[in-house]
Amino acid sequence: MIYEYWFAGLKPLSDEKKKRLRGIFGSGRELFYLKEKELSALSFLTEKDREVLKKAKKDTELSENYEEIQKKGIRLLLCHNNSYPESLKKIKDHPYALYVKGKLPDGKRKAAAIVGARRCTPYGEEMARIYGYELARAGVEIISGMAKGIDGAGQRGALEAGGSTFAVLGCGVDICYPRDHIGLYMDIQQNGGILSEQCPGEPPLPCYFPQRNRIISALSDVILVMEAREKSGSLITADLGLEQGKDIYALPGPASSVLSAGCHRLISQGAGILLSPGELLNELNVRIVKLRENNNKEKKELETIENMVYSCLDLFPRSVDGIVSDTGLPPGKVLEILTTLEIKGMAKELSKGYYIKIM
């Protein structure tokens, strides 16, 4: 296995060539002990590739590195292994090697990718969380990139529901990127897995991110784009998904919102529109578990005046002053009610004086 690890970690060699070499020689061990003559006989390798192979054999830290990744609990899957995800195998440019920390997606269950902007609105974030929650509760696996904004929110929603979620990273699986998401990173390992085609220890380079998007789309049955600008990485994922024959759904937002422009473009091009988690589950042919309704019950308990303030709230942050002029209540009263709503978990103060509603 150590030789396989060695071969998979040869960065300068393209996946395509790795697959061919591995096909010809059958094991990493053979490749390691490849004779110079045999090597020069391979016409598809360039001089540079041969150099790489030769040089890599002299790697003195190989066994230490291998021990280390085993200690970290990182598994290596090669594209011809049985455990390598079937759905990934189907795409043409599937990665030669896949590193996994935690579990692998269950091929029998439906999987949905929740993707979107890193810098998103609270509306997008909340919707991502809701979709993540409801889909995971119905047993759908959530695939995403663990990025800030939509990605993280969707995965957090899935974890809240106790479902499984998988993060495909643009760096080694032993690196938590973004660093703030360390909590999420740990939780995902418990209830799902961290996946990457980059070898462990690889830093998050910008060029890795568009590549990993193809894995996200390949692993999922549907792709949900929650919020995206007109030119956005999430649209790359959607395009890739389209090429791979996946269903694309986009979440509508206000027509004026720059952050929803990408979603609206997708819808106009024929993507599905996200109406509610329930309808999406229907279309996915997933048996619907009874949806959450506790908030409705609580809503009934609200006093009329509280209901008035609550109905002024939105998933887009509202200022206290805005609510004051909408309701005509004195500012002190509005603040008091907002505090009560916040305590009841039905509103959230996003930044000082700006509130959103919690659904």
Partner 1 sequence: MAFSYVSSAALLGLHVELVRVEADVSNGLPMFHMVGYLSSEVKEASERVRTAIHNSELSFPPKKTVINLSPATVKKKGPSFDLPIALSVLLSVGVIPPDCLRKTLVIGELSLDGRVRKVKGVLPVVLEAKKAGFCTCILPEENAAEGALVEDIQIIGTESLKEICLHLKGKQVIDACSHERKAGQRKPDGNSLADFSDIKGQETVKRAAEVAVAGGHNLLLMGPPGSGKSMIAGRIPTILPSPTREECIEITKIYSVLGMVDEEQPLIRTRPFRNVHHAATKAALIGGGAVPSPGEISLAHGGVLFLDELAEFQKPVLEVLRQPLEEHKIRISRSHGSYVFPADFILVAALNPCPCGNYPNMEKCTCSESQIRHYLGRISQPFLDRMDICVEVPGVRYEELSRKEAPEGSEDIRRRVCRAREIQRHRYQEMDISVNAMLGMKKIEKYCRLDQEGEVLMKRAFAALGLTARTYHKILKVARTIADLDESERVLPCHLGEAVGYRTIDKKYWGR
Q: Which residues bind partner 1 (CB under 8 A)?
A: 119-122, 148, 180, 257-259, 317, 319-322, 324-325, 330-340, 342-343, 345, 350-354
Residue tagged 């609580």 (tokens): 298
Query: Minimum distance between the CB of residue 309 and partner 1, rounded to whole angstroms?
Result: 12
Tell me how far apart the alpha carbons of residues 171 and 108 are, in angstroms, rounded to a whole number: 27
Query: Minimum distance between the CB of residue 241 and partner 1, rounded to whole angstroms?
Result: 25
- Greatest alpha-carbon span in the chain: 87
**Closest to partner 1 by CB, 211 or 340:** 340
Query: Minimum distance between the CB of residue 180 and partner 1, rounded to whole angstroms?
Result: 8
Query: Minimum distance between the CB of residue 144 and partner 1, rounded to whole angstroms?
Result: 18
Nearest by Cα to 94 from 103, 84, 106: 84
* Element counts in the chain: helices (H) and strands (E): 18, 12
φ, ψ of residue 75 in degrees (nearest 5): -105, 150
Query: Minimum distance between the CB of residue 305 and partner 1, rounded to whole angstroms?
Result: 11
For residue 174, the SS3 value is coil
Give strand pairing partners of 115: 225
**Closest to partner 1 by CB, 41 or 343:** 343
**Closest to partner 1 by CB, 228 or 280:** 228
**Closest to partner 1 by CB, 140 or 259:** 259
Query: Minimum distance between the CB of residue 335 and partner 1, rounded to whole angstroms?
Result: 3
Tell me how far apart the alpha carbons of residues 217 and 233 are, in angstroms, rounded to a whole number: 12
Give strand pairing partners of 250: 225, 273
Contact 131/109 with Cβ under 8 angstroms? Answer: no
**Closest to partner 1 by CB, 258 or 289:** 258
**Closest to partner 1 by CB, 58 or 352:** 352
Give strand pairing partners of 100: 75, 195
- Token readout for 113 is 């990718």
**Closest to partner 1 by CB, 171 or 218:** 171
Query: Minimum distance between the CB of residue 358 and partner 1, rounded to whole angstroms?
Result: 11
| Cβ within 8 Å of residue 87, ≥6 positions away | 105, 107, 111, 218, 219
**Closest to partner 1 by CB, 15 or 336:** 336
- Beta strands of the chain (E only): which ranges? 74-78, 97-102, 111-115, 141-144, 165-168, 192-196, 222-225, 247-250, 272-273, 318-319, 347-351, 354-357
Query: Minimum distance between the CB of residue 248 and partner 1, rounded to whole angstroms?
Result: 24
